[in-house]
Structure 1
Amino acid sequence: MEKRLVLAIALSLLVLLSWSALAPKPQPIDNQSVIENKASLSTAAQAVAPVVSPLASVAPDMDLTEDVIKFTQENREIIFNPATASIVDVIFKKGIEHHLPLKIGFLTDPTLVFKQQTLTNDSISFVYEDPDKRIIKKFTIPNNSYTIELQIQTQNLSSSVLAFNPQLVLGRLDLSAKNSQSRYQDVFLNNREKNMHLAAGKDFSSPDIKFIGLRDQYFCTIIEPTNVGASAYVKKIKPQESEVGLLLKETNVKAGGQIGHLFRIYLGPQELNVINNINSEWSAIIYFGIFDFIAQLLLQLLGFFYGLVHNWGLAIIILSVVVYFLLFPLSIKQMRSMKEMQVLQPKIEALRKELKDNPQKLNKEIMELYKEHKVNPLGGCLPLLLQMPIFFALYQALIRSVALRGAHFLWIKDLSSPDKAFVFKNSIPLLGNQVNILPILMAIGMFVQQKISTTQATGEAAQQQKMMSIIMPIMFGVIFYQMPSGLVLYWFVNSLLMLCYQFRINSQK
């Protein structure tokens, strides 16, 4: 019974992990050649010389023939489409280059074509004008910061009152399977009553919001209207694409008058300290699901250990050791319960042979045997169940940790991806074009632990032990094979500690 429950728990764990492990790999981004664009930029732009290139990532309504303006900073590169006065790509340059795969827009009206651009050291402005109105969109982009201030000024050039109720598209989410980030994308908003996390593929609307954001695995964008009320919406515009945006409250502007809208924007990593320093309310976008509290605590511990050793690999090892010893009393209880069950196995096997034709009486006799020897048949599994929330929380924390991107440890060049000890030009059956050592070592460690923890048994119990000792390490090795090496490192260290303790128990027999 206990073996079956352990197997069921393990299978449930593997099912929950497999969707991430087997998801498609990121698609390479084709960086096209760039050329300078000097015609439409003011002379004040010399300190930040923009370059333009064929549009790399655009929303469906944008003109692919338009050039783009690249606003380059130390920590990121923001790419604008001057015709629509919108952001079409954000490239984060710290560590491994990362494109924010959210089709960022801040698009007001796709039918308007902006004709003028003015670029300075820390801002870029776009102007649209027709006989009735003039619209000026100014992005102020301070250096060494992940914030942006967006000002939209609308002037009434007509001789009558005009009603303005602009729409601001925050971004469009690519939900297709080819986008490796699609499974991590969601929408986050505050409706002035509570924070909400929404699935990216479901339609939603909120009549009044304080701020709204989008995120992928590591990075996010947040926008907050500061001087005007707004409603928010999420709607599917294509089978595999959703649009997220704001609808600003309608305002009447008299002839010759003007109205201004101001927005605070965050475009950066999902790092708690970074976002807290800007706006502590925004940090709620960093969310790890039902076990969020545990995940946040584990990340804080990991950051603390990194501050001591200045290496993320060593920090993960220390975290694994600390968590193991915190759960050590549960592990001891689990092993003792398993040992007690093993002592009773010969008697249980005898009952099964004697009462094989009477299942009801067999179950009753087995329960009486447990009661007589004061053994809880679930005693070995309950501690394992209690550890599951910690594992799932740690899984979410490590797989979304931007700090692990590009972090080195021993032969591992990136703790946020498989360890890739050996990479080949051609693909190898089952392994692909790379050999990841950590999952293999982990599977070997689990196999050894299974072998040394089994006891003499006969019949069905012996078959179950044999199955567990072979199938489980293989299954874990396969599922963990494409997991981030930081997560595999944590599990491998935990397995080694359990193996060492099992050796100690066996030596005391």
Structure 2
Amino acid sequence: MRKKLLVLIGLIGLVLFLSGCTEIDQEITAESDGIWNKYFVYPLSWVIVKVAEFFHADYGYGLSIVIVTLIIRLILLPLNIKQLKSSKAMQQIQPELQKIREKYSSKDQQTQQKLQQETMELFQKNGVNPLAGCLPIIVQMPILIAFYHAIMRTGALDGHHFLWFQLDQPDPYYILPVLTAGFTFLQQKLMMAGTTTQQNSMMPQMTMMLYIMPFMIGIFAIFFPSALALYWVVGNIFMVLQTLLIKNPMMRNNDAATGGTKK
């Protein structure tokens, strides 16, 4: 599992690099060169500006970020549902997976082949695809990073206010960073809801991300423009509601299937 986490982090880093993170200080325009700028970043920037202009008010750009964030999250909803189902399935088979690992703990080639064989049989028996949980994340990353670029590189956002903050400046009261970290933690916690202590101990990377991810995003939000922190807050609130609406019925269905004997 640790190797899978490292591979996932590496893929995310590769996406960040290929998406042109070095251009973050360059304003996006219709004349910006490159496939990334023309077909990913600029269209999102254009939508943000047009939605803001519809409201004809100083707060229009902040409201536009909220609306466009919700639209993007709704578009990505099917992928997120797939990710939640895959995560739930992996959690359910962790005890059996641990037994197989203990059975074939030897590092010789023959034993490792048997380990892989029985692991794949377990996955097939329960209809689990170990890559299904990673694929939605990989697919979403270019879209979410493009929106991040659109917010950071749209000059029209400069000087506009929304609620108590200025969009192109960090939140002076640190309210957005706290909200960002808090809702990120809550979303991660909800993802782990319904799992036992034993299951969590078998997936240490999830426990690690539970604390590291909120801390990192909260620190970034302190120094980044409030427009980006607003995007994170709205997106995380949506993810919390999505997890509550999707995962809770999944847990109830699982309890009903097992006759309510889960302890």
What is the TM-score when the length of structure 2 is the normalising length?
Answer: 0.79
C-alpha distance in structure 1 between counterparts of 2:204 and 2:79, whole Å: 27
Q: Which residue of structure 2 aligns with residue 474 of structure 1?
A: 215
What amino acid is aligned across from residue 42 of structure 2 in structure 1? Answer: Q
Q: Flag the 1:497–1:5 CA change in 2: closer, same or farther, 3 A.
A: farther
- The one-letter code sitting in structure 2 at the alignment partner of 1:292 is K
Q: Secondary structure at the match of 1:379?
A: coil
Measure, in 2, the Cα distance between the counterparts of 1:465 and 1:329.
Answer: 22
Deviation at 1:11, TM superposition (A): 6.7
* Structure 2 residue aligned with 1:8: 9
Structure 1 residues 6, 403: closer, same or farther in 2, change over 3 A? Answer: farther
* Residue number in structure 2 paired with 1:263: none
Whether 2:207 is the aligned partner of 1:461: answer no
Q: Secondary structure at the match of 1:499?
A: helix
Deviation at 1:504, TM superposition (A): 2.1
Give the 3-state SS of the residue equivalent to 1:481 in structure 2: helix
**1-structure distance, mates of 2:221, 2:119:** 37
For 2:33 and 2:47, how far apart are their aligned partners in 1? 17
| Residue correspondence of structure 1 range 19-38 to structure 2 within 5 A | none
Pairwise CA distance, 1:308: 2.7
Residues 389, 291 of structure 1: CA spacing in aligned structure 2 closer, same or farther, 3 A cutoff? farther
Q: SS of the residue aligned with 2:86?
A: helix
Structure 1 residue 462: Cα displacement: 4.4
- Structure 1 residues 339 and 363, CA gap change in structure 2 (3 angstroms): same
More strand by share: 1
RMSD between aligned residues? 2.9
What percent identity do the matched residue pairs reach?
36
Distance 1:470 1:372 in 2: 33
More helix by share: 2
CA shift, 1:391, in A, is: 1.5
Aligned match of 1:420 in 169, 172, 177? Answer: 172
Quick one: distance in 1 between partners of 2:90 and 2:38? 35
- Shift in Å at residue 288 of structure 1? 6.7
Q: Which residue of 1 aligns with 2:257?
A: none
> How much has 1:401 moved relative to structure 2?
0.7
Deviation at 1:450, TM superposition (A): 1.3
Contact 2:12 2:138 in 1 (8 A): no
Query: Is the 8 Å Cα contact of residues 291 and 392 (structure 1) preserved in structure 2?
Result: no
Residue matched to 2:185:
447
User: Take 2:34 and 2:160, find their aligned partners in 1: how far apart are those partners?
Assistant: 21
Query: Which residue is equivalent to 1:404?
Result: 157
CA distance in 2, matches of 1:184, 1:362: 46
Distance 1:7 1:445, change over 3 A: farther
8 Å Cα contact 2:81/2:246 also seen in 1: no
Letter of the structure 2 residue corresponding to residue 308 of structure 1: F
Which ranges in structure 1 are unaligned for 5 or more consecutive residues?
21-182, 186-215, 219-269, 273-282, 422-435
TM-score if structure 1 supplies the norm length? 0.43
CA distance change for structure 1 residues 287 and 342 in 2, over 3 Å: closer, same or farther?
same
Q: Deviations over 1:50-86 (max 9, x none)?
A: xxxxxxxxxxxxxxxxxxxxxxxxxxxxxxxxxxxxx
Q: Aligned to 2:224, what secondary structure does the other structure show?
A: coil
The CA distance in 2 between the partners of 1:445 and 1:217, in whole Å, is 30
Shift in CA distance, 5/369, structure 1 to aligned 2, threshold 3 Å = farther
Kept in 2: contact 1:299–1:397 (CA 8 A) = yes
The runs of 5 or more residues in structure 2 that have no matched partner are: 253-263
Distance of aligned partners of 1:477 and 1:499 in 2 relative to their CA distance in 1, 3 Å threshold:
same
Q: C-alpha deviations, 1:181-203, integer Å up to 9, x for none? A: xx659xxxxxxxxxxxxxxxxxx
Q: Does the alignment pair 1:217 with 2:21?
A: no
- Which residue matches 2:45? 299
| Contact 1:14/1:479 (8 A) holds in 2 | no
Alignment partner, residue 256 of structure 2: none
Aligned to 1:319: 68
CA–CA distance in 2 between the matches of 1:292 and 1:393?
11
Change (3 A) 1:10 1:475: farther
How much does 1:340 deviate? 1.3
Deviation at 1:367, TM superposition (A): 1.6
1:305-326 CA-partner distances (Å, limit 9, x unpaired): 2123341111000000000001
Partners of 1:418 and 1:289 in 2: CA distance: 30
For 2:204 and 2:227, the matched residues in 1 are separated by 34
C-alpha displacement of 1:373: 2.1
Q: Is the 8 A contact 1:288 1:393 kept in 2?
A: no
2:232 to 456, 476, 491: 491
SS at structure 1 position matched to 2:244: helix
How has the CA–CA distance of structure 1 residues 419 and 12 changed in structure 2, closer, same or farther, with 3 Å as cutoff?
A: same
Distance 1:303 1:10 in 2: 31
Q: Which is greater in Rg?
A: 1
Change in 2 beyond 3 A, CA 1:317/1:481: same
Q: Which whole-Å deviations, capped at 9, do the CAs of 1:133-178 have from their partners, x for residues lacking one?
A: xxxxxxxxxxxxxxxxxxxxxxxxxxxxxxxxxxxxxxxxxxxxxx
Equivalent in 97, 121, 124 of residue 371 of structure 1 = 124
Note if contact 2:49-2:156 (Cα within 8 Å) is conserved in structure 1. no
| Distance across 2 between alignment mates of 1:10 and 1:447 | 23
Aligned to 2:259: none
Residue 418 of structure 1 aligns to a residue whose secondary structure is coil
**How many Å separate the matches in 2 of 1:6 and 1:488?**
27
How far apart are the structure 1 equivalents of 2:212 and 2:233?
17
Assess if the C-alpha contact under 8 Å between 2:84 and 2:247 holds in 1.
no
